[in-house]
Chains A and B, each alone.
Chain A
């Protein structure tokens, strides 16, 4: 990421404005609650961002994680009874995909609770620590005391651990299949434990943004059982910048954080998720692929960029958004940003699956540039526009 010196930029633009300003119809006088026009605009954007983008995304992710846990329990019970079928594994796999999709759609807002409470590394670390998993399954089999965080890290937790148990590759490695039904009982003890942990973390993430009081009774009970509650309402803090109890001094600071989150994921998708397997020279670079068993990489990347679009433009037609503000002060930049987002999604979707085999191709090469360079640059410009005093 390369954020420009806002003051350097402002002075040049100020100089430009002196010559070109042709209207003063947008005075910056005090408005309701003594917010400037800019602060009011970004306040409106923050409210829609929380209510219509962040909370529905995390809510849906948690809902699907609850469903996933229940279906993993079903797998374990049916396996014990000898009645497990591929359809049961497919059903759990679908719930996994649903929860995972919402996670990908949330990756533009990894700042705040997902990072501060380590929920991101907790549920999304990869690759799976296979060696530690073998040791763990041996301990379970031997009836020893064990827990899933006993490797002192995050290698046995989260989406990718569950993915490994629910999916497998076809023999030509071109497609993802439901895992075979020949599990050991220990593997399913592990599956259910990790699915429960994932469920708890997803519900916790929703609670941190919504406030624990504002999630469903079922979810509140889950957190109580798990003894997992940070007593945080980050969404309230973003919607109530400038007030006591909020860590945001201004709505501009809220918008900066949102745009910084967009920048981080655009950079990661372009330069790491696609860029590393595309450009790297080592075997590890080429294997630097996050979901190797479910083979959903391309759609995951596209969802990451949609997460940027939702953050910038809003998720629902008519949402107040940062885009509205940028459009009001710099319509060309707003149009450029929207186009850069669309171009990024198009470039990503042009890469054929499975990404494990197409990462070195020309489509991926184009996507690295369009996402990792072009989109990142425009997001930087949007950041500079937001930081500029108006």
Chain B
């Protein structure tokens, strides 16, 4: 990439030398000298930054992709991300189902951003835009229920039926008034709203088929987050991550402390390991709000391409279904499913290679198919590799409006009032030896980002905000702020859709939600924010939208 720029610049220079007779020196004095550009302009460092601020801003390959000669692979992966999968048993992007959450990745990541805020009314997942998953959990234990998949499916391929009937689920938005009456000392006001989800029992397929739900349940919304730049976060060294936890533990500034399930007394307490596919080696957790994942190659994207669509691949020749096995059990007994199964299975297994799907009682045949660990491979290893090259190769856009002095002023204020403690501005990546806990990838097939100074504005640590109708467990990894300001531009959304369930319609709402509760780890900083003069608050917002 660097070489290419040099060649190109030389060419342009030559063109300028021979023909640019109308240039006026005075007109270009506004252009910052690259020598003077602050380091934080390059959000993704030299290897991970792209330079486009249009509606395609989040879709660009990092220079590291070009450097590694992986552009074609990146493009193939891009198509797998953008285009819908089909229920066909063969052909381009086949294998959707038998039950699924969305038919494409972009359904939840419009414009490669996080999803758009869900409107009041029913919960619809058929169209691109709604990036929320339903979190169905036991309110007493805060654990996911076992009788629905952790990411519940609301679509099915005939004759199977959707585990959830989403038309019966309702989302409503309620108003929150904070102790300051949603008003700054200077009189400026803001509004706060949060979602509430109701899901009646008759929306649940197995319950309708006679399954006795063993527990009470509650439902929340949880949005996807941006996918760009996750390769750069993956490149942060484990030791540096640990040092951040150790520092925060020593500082003791957070009234909620650190999540004891992750880190305590200077050591990791809960590492990520994959014993099913990998050798069980433990890795520090770094991805998803819940920190449910470690290294990127076995994190949310690698999982989603399989479990969102139920498209199988060589290392996962089984379906994503509920842990308790209720769906397989009740589907196999459902007379309507039984009536259509012969035709269905003839499409999936035309050569009758699996005896157990063809012989025996219909109930056993259906159950054997749904719980099989030897399903036909629907996504090739090459395709899966391309997808992960694309995933790890997505760049972060350079900071916009870098020559606007308000942006730099906002950055200074952001740091002064304490936002930057959790929204840690910068990290330096390590050697970036790519690891895969699932042992599918060697690592050398991926773009890499060694020794880059990056600007994600996250400490990668979980904190608690104690928001009304908060995220499940209350622990939420500090969201990277880079490029969040581009959400409306890249999606066309009417609102900025910040925070884990997109409840904040602009940056001010997002900030003020951090301080609604006196128990919030961010309370002290929000108190400082609300006492700033308006022009200083605005400068912080300008900065947030620019980075």
Contact = CB atoms under 8 A, between A and B. Distances in A.
A357 interface: no
A257 B55 contact: yes
Nearest to A249: B401
Interface in B474-530: 488-489, 491-492
Contacts of B154: 152
A117 B492 contact: yes
Interface string A127-169: 1111110010011000000000101111100000000000000
Nearest to A113: B492
Contacts of B85: 153
Contacts of A247: 488-489
A329 B71 CA distance: 32
A4 B17 CA distance: 20
Most chain B beta carbons < 10 A, residue from A21, A151, A381 = A151
B34 A8 contact: yes
Interface in B73-106: 75-76, 79, 83-89, 91-93, 96, 100, 102-104, 106
A163 to B, nearest CB: 15
A131 B86 contact: yes
Interface in B283-337: none
Interface in A105-140: 111-113, 115-118, 121, 125-132, 135, 138-139
Q: Is the interface of A mostly helix, strand, loop or mixed?
A: helix
B415 interface: no
Nearest to B91: A127
Contacts of B30: 389
Contacts of A135: 87, 157-158
B36 to A, nearest CB: 9
Interface in B2-51: 4-5, 8-9, 12-13, 15-28, 30-35, 37, 41, 49-51
A12 B82 CA distance: 37
Interface stretch (B121-129, B229-237, B369-377): B121-129
A155 B66 contact: no
Contact of A121 (B56, B66, B84): B84
A106 B93 CA distance: 25
Interface stretch (A24-32, A182-190, A307-315): A24-32
A23 B102 contact: no
A3 B76 contact: no
A5 B398 contact: yes
Contact of A115 (B5, B111, B488): B111
Contacts of A288: 92
A282 B73 CA distance: 13
Interface string B120-162: 0000011111000000000000000000000000110110000
A116 B492 contact: yes
Most chain A beta carbons < 10 A, residue from B52, B60, B154 = B52
A113 B492 CA distance: 8
Nearest to B158: A135
A111 B492 CA distance: 10
A280 B79 CA distance: 13
A205 to B, nearest CB: 13
A87 interface: no
A282 B155 contact: no
Contact of B9 (A12, A115, A118, A284): A12
A77 interface: no
Contacts of A139: 158
A328 B34 contact: no
Nearest to B42: A5
Given A116-B491, A125-B83, A330-B20, A28 B155 contact: no
B158 A10 contact: no
Contact of A21 (B21, B86, B380): B21
Contact of A256 (B16, B53, B83, B91): B53
A22 interface: yes
A292 to B, nearest CB: 10
Interface string A78-112: 00000000000000000000000000000000011
A177 B475 CA distance: 61
Contacts of B54: 111, 253, 256-257, 260
B429 to A, nearest CB: 19
B12 A13 contact: yes
A317 interface: no
B352 interface: no
B23 A17 contact: yes
A16 B492 contact: no
A20 B56 contact: no
B1 interface: yes
A287 interface: yes
B19 A331 contact: yes
The interface size bin for chain B is 35 or more
Most chain A beta carbons < 10 A, residue from B9, B87, B488 = B87
Contact of B72 (A25, A155, A275, A388): A275
Contacts of A153: 84-86, 96, 102-104, 126
A284 B91 contact: yes
A316 interface: no
B382 interface: yes
A18 interface: yes
B61 interface: yes
A113 B51 CA distance: 23
Nearest to B102: A152
B129 A118 contact: yes
Interface in A249-287: 253, 256-257, 260, 263-264, 267, 271-272, 275-276, 279-282, 284, 287
Given A2-B1, A132-B157, A21 B23 contact: yes
B270 to A, nearest CB: 35
A19 B60 contact: no
B347 interface: yes
Given A131-B86, A271-B72, A381-B12, A152 B100 contact: yes
B105 to A, nearest CB: 12
Contacts of A390: 23, 27-28
B318 to A, nearest CB: 20
A129 B492 contact: no
Contacts of B18: 20, 332
A284 B378 CA distance: 11
Nearest to B156: A152
Contacts of B37: 7
Nearest to B78: A272
Contact of B5 (A4, A149, A151): A4
Contacts of B102: 152-153
A25 B383 CA distance: 56
B28 A131 contact: no
Nearest to B491: A116
B72 A115 contact: no
A1 interface: yes
Contact of A25 (B22, B60, B398): B22
Contacts of B35: 11
A351 B425 CA distance: 51
Given A10-B28, A21-B24, A26-B24, A3 B489 contact: no
A333 interface: yes
A6 interface: yes
Contacts of A226: none
B56 A329 contact: no
B75 A16 contact: no
Nearest to A130: B88
Interface of A: 1-28, 111-113, 115-118, 121, 125-132, 135, 138-139, 149, 151-155, 247, 253, 256-257, 260, 263-264, 267, 271-272, 275-276, 279-282, 284, 287-288, 328-333, 381, 383-384, 387-390
Given A17-B25, A128-B86, 10 more contacts: A1-B59, A3-B60, A11-B31, A13-B12, A118-B127, A130-B86, A139-B158, A276-B79, A287-B92, A288-B92
22 contacts: A4-B51, A5-B5, A5-B34, A8-B34, A9-B5, A11-B33, A13-B16, A14-B25, A20-B21, A21-B22, A115-B492, A126-B92, A129-B88, A130-B88, A130-B91, A132-B87, A253-B54, A260-B55, A263-B56, A282-B380, A287-B91, A383-B52
